[in-house]
Structure 1
Amino acid sequence: MTTLIACSHGTRFAEGRAAIHALIARAAELLPGVAIAEAFVDVQDPSIDDVVAAVEGPAVIVPLLLSAGFHTGIDIARAARTREDVVATEPLGPHPLLAETLLTRLEEIGLRDGDHVVLAAAGSSRPEAAVHVRRMRDLLAALIRQPVTVGYAAGADPRIAVAVEAARAAGAERVIAASYVLAPGFFANEVAAAGADITTAPLGADERIAEIIAARYRAGVAAVATLAPR
């Protein structure tokens, strides 16, 4: 059986750790019998390098990250290259199921006409991350009538507070920060502090996100089967 290595960023916040654990548990329900190992690219142990080195047999690394960026392109990719029987999949986003989850969070706070939604992402200096976030903006915009723009907590512009002020200046009755982060923690707090009228909850341990993890794993298993020895 091919091991699923669920690799998240890592956080010092207990609520964030609990949310990631709950998300992995939901994915496990969709993958009965699959061994799952947790790994991290920052803050928490064990590191992705240590987990890849220790796992027995083939493995699929599924980044529990919403966009491509430094951690997928450098940390996770490097770890995968150390083994001929390990592959890394695409991150969780962009994906239509993430757009549906964002819509649910917006409906929970009572999205209405006159609102402007700022898709509030963590951000990265790597250009592929911005491409992924803009694609998520497009997927969300296709589901709602309200305008949707993008803001970043770090690493890219515009910053969330700037995007919020631009939406307000454009005449929005309310500005909603749609928290495009998985779990409570540093980036969720940055989104909440950016000055929007309302901030949605993080995506959390939603079953739809667990479905993405399971689908990424199955695609990775198929990729492992095609690998030639390196």
Structure 2
Amino acid sequence: MTLIACSHGTRFPEGRDAIHALIAHVQQLLPEAEIAEAFVDVQEPSIDDVVARVEGPGVIVPLLLSAGFHTGVDIARAARTRDDVVATDPLGPHPLLAETLVARLHQAGLRDGDHVVLAAAGSSRPAAAEHVERMRDLLAPRLPHPVTVGYAAGADPRIPAAVSAARAAGARRVVAASYVLAPGYFANEIAASGADVVTAPLGADERVARVIAERYRAALPAVMAA
């Protein structure tokens, strides 16, 4: 059985390193699985090429945090080409991702009086915004701080507008919680949003690896029944 770990792809070396390290964590959790990397943009091999050449059944796990164009079109199309390959939901929303965000916020020095903006990449697809709002609902009860949402692209409010709204509401500081997997374009957009503090991306965290492993295991019955 092959776990096809499909990420967006990035030109940033530090982003590529973070995804490679995350997949290494997943391999430790799933020593029985063969893992193949695939991408929907920028990097090769493409998801279509990987699905075409995988021997035997496979599970595509999108290394993406929300539903969007790539999950609904690119990954779904590739999965439909074979009866013995299925695609799972994206990684978010998930309680373990909320735990990871809390850890990143505390590492960044979250303190009393701060307002947290959950800063996501964004998509024009409504399902993506719904997933981010559900992620906010998982994060907010874990923090004694107001938590709102901002998007780097594709949806409103944009992160700078969310930061400005938090300041207008009386926040002492605004902390952008980077709801992205790895360094790269969207992480840089979040860093330039005007927040007083910006957290590190989720990165190669063991909790994120556990989400990937969970998505893979949950899909196995469907693959075996194909």
- Same fold, TM-score > 0.5, yes or no: yes
Query: Partners in 2 of 1:92 and 1:222 — Cα distance?
Result: 19
Shift in Å, 1:195:
0.1
In structure 1, the residue matched to 2:47 is 48
Paired letter, 1:160: I
Shift in Å, 1:226:
2.2
Q: What is the aligned length?
A: 226
State yes or no: 1:221 paired with 2:220: yes
Query: Partners in 2 of 1:162 and 1:190 — Cα distance?
Result: 13
| Percent sequence identity over aligned pairs | 78
In structure 2, the residue matched to 1:191 is 190
In structure 2, the residue matched to 1:120 is 119
In structure 2, the residue matched to 1:22 is 21
Paired letter, 1:88: A
Query: Partners in 2 of 1:11 and 1:103 — Cα distance?
Result: 25
Shift in Å, 1:33:
2.5
Shift in Å, 1:8:
0.1
Q: How does 1:200-215 map to 2 (within 5 A)?
A: 200-215=199-214
In structure 1, the residue matched to 2:163 is 164
Query: Partners in 2 of 1:22 and 1:43 — Cα distance?
Result: 19
Q: Could you list the runs of 5+ residues in structure 2 that have no partner in the other structure?
A: none
Moved over 6 A (4+): none
In structure 2, the residue matched to 1:150 is 149
Paired letter, 1:24: I
Paired letter, 2:200: A
Shift in Å, 1:124:
0.1
Shift in Å, 1:112:
1.3
Paired letter, 1:153: A
Q: How does 1:100-119 map to 2 (within 5 A)?
A: 100-119=99-118
**What is the RMSD computed on CA atoms of the aligned residues?**
0.5
Query: Partners in 2 of 1:124 and 1:211 — Cα distance?
Result: 25
Query: Partners in 2 of 1:90 and 1:164 — Cα distance?
Result: 30
Shift in Å, 1:222:
1.5
Paired letter, 1:32: P
Deviation per CA, 1:151-178, whole angstroms, max 9, x where unpaired? 0000000000000000001000000000
Deviation per CA, 1:178-214, whole angstroms, max 9, x where unpaired? 0000000000000000000000000000000000011
Q: How does 1:124-143 map to 2 (within 5 A)?
A: 124-143=123-142
| 3-state DSSP of counterpart to 1:5 | strand
Query: Partners in 2 of 1:32 and 1:221 — Cα distance?
Result: 15
In structure 2, the residue matched to 1:68 is 67
Paired letter, 1:177: A
Paired letter, 2:139: L
Question: TM-score with structure 1 length normalisation?
Answer: 0.98
Paired letter, 2:136: R
Shift in Å, 1:223:
1.4
Paired letter, 1:109: A
State yes or no: 1:87 paired with 2:82: no
Query: Partners in 2 of 1:150 and 1:226 — Cα distance?
Result: 40
Q: Could you list the runs of 5+ residues in structure 1 that have no partner in the other structure?
A: none
